[in-house]
Amino acid sequence: MSVGFVGLGNMGQGMADNLLNKGTDLTVFTRTQSKIQAMIDKGAKGSTSVSDLTSRVDVVLVCLPDVKTSRDVLLGDDGVINNMRPGQVAVDHSTVDIATSRACSEAAEAVGGHFLDAPISGGPGGAADATLSIMVGGTDNAFKIAHKYFLMMGANIKMMGPSGAGTAMKLINQLLVGVNTVAAAEAFALANAAGVDIKVAADLLAVSWGGSTMVSRSAPITAARDFENSAAPVRNVDKDMGIIKQLANEEGLALDLAVQVQSMFAEMIAQGKKEHDIAAVLEIIEERSN
């Protein structure tokens, strides 16, 4: 089978590289022509548009930066689903809202195609190393078709349930990423104030109840204050926490920590720090401190 990949950003590039390096008949499209050419130089095929790519492959994978772009690429006139053939599979690896995933599934079903919401976690490093977690919503039949390609990109693939379940799981994950990132930043602010070395603290926390993935990840970045131009920028978690906040309002959920965390990342965006690393939320804590 042939595979198309749309979106060669911080995550998509590593994912597409792994597909190509593991023998996939791969066609790519992204808005930056130089990235397409670089993939052609590696042995992939290039395409001129989303509809062109869709017409040439059996499975279409997309990995995009925000809800609007996902809806345009998947549901637009020149998008994947409007140009699908019966039996074709479309997969969205982006982080979007549940309503978007379900709308894509319904639209694909209406033209005889299949859709999977399959968001990812693991950061650019996980994308490059093929160790991503991939959480999937959709039908078992579509999952069986796409599974071999998921295995080329990830180490933890889990079918979560029907359409929208993969996206729901990603939002659960992102809620914890956001809250734990801020919690780690508060802990590091306390460490700085008390004269405790952050790296030494992180080593101890790694074998204590207070440890977490975000503590381990943020510690060296925070110690070096290496916040600018990150591959895990504030704009991404701000977008995701905004989706979670909207979902909480719709479902009547009192997600108080998530709402507070979203406001802190929104404050960073307002300060022009959208490309800063998420660990840079430490700066908001410092600004609010005496």
Long-range contacts, stretch 209-213, CB < 8 angstroms, 24+ apart: 212/180, 212/183, 212/184, 213/180
Q: How does DSSP classify residue 120? A: E
C-alpha distances in Å from residue 117, one per residue of 72, 77, 101, 145, 235? 16, 20, 6, 14, 22
**Alpha carbon 249 to its chain's center:** 22
> What is the C-alpha end-to-end distance of the chain, expressed in Å?
61
Secondary structure (DSSP) of 227-263: -SS-SSBHHHHHHHHHHHHHHHHHHT---HHHHHHHH
List the catalytic residue out of 35, 170, 239, 245. Answer: 170
As a three-state string, the secondary structure of 5-70 is EECCCCCHHHHHHHHHHCCCEEEEECCCHHHHHHHHHHCCEECCCHHHHHHHCCEEEECCCCHHHH
Smallest CA-to-CA distance from 14 within 127, 103, 125 is with 127
Closest CA to 287 of 264, 257, 256, 259: 264
| Helix 234-251 / helix 256-270 crossing angle, nearest 10 deg | 140
Question: Is 273 a known active-site residue?
Answer: no
Residue for token pair 């001129």: 48
Catalytic residues: 170
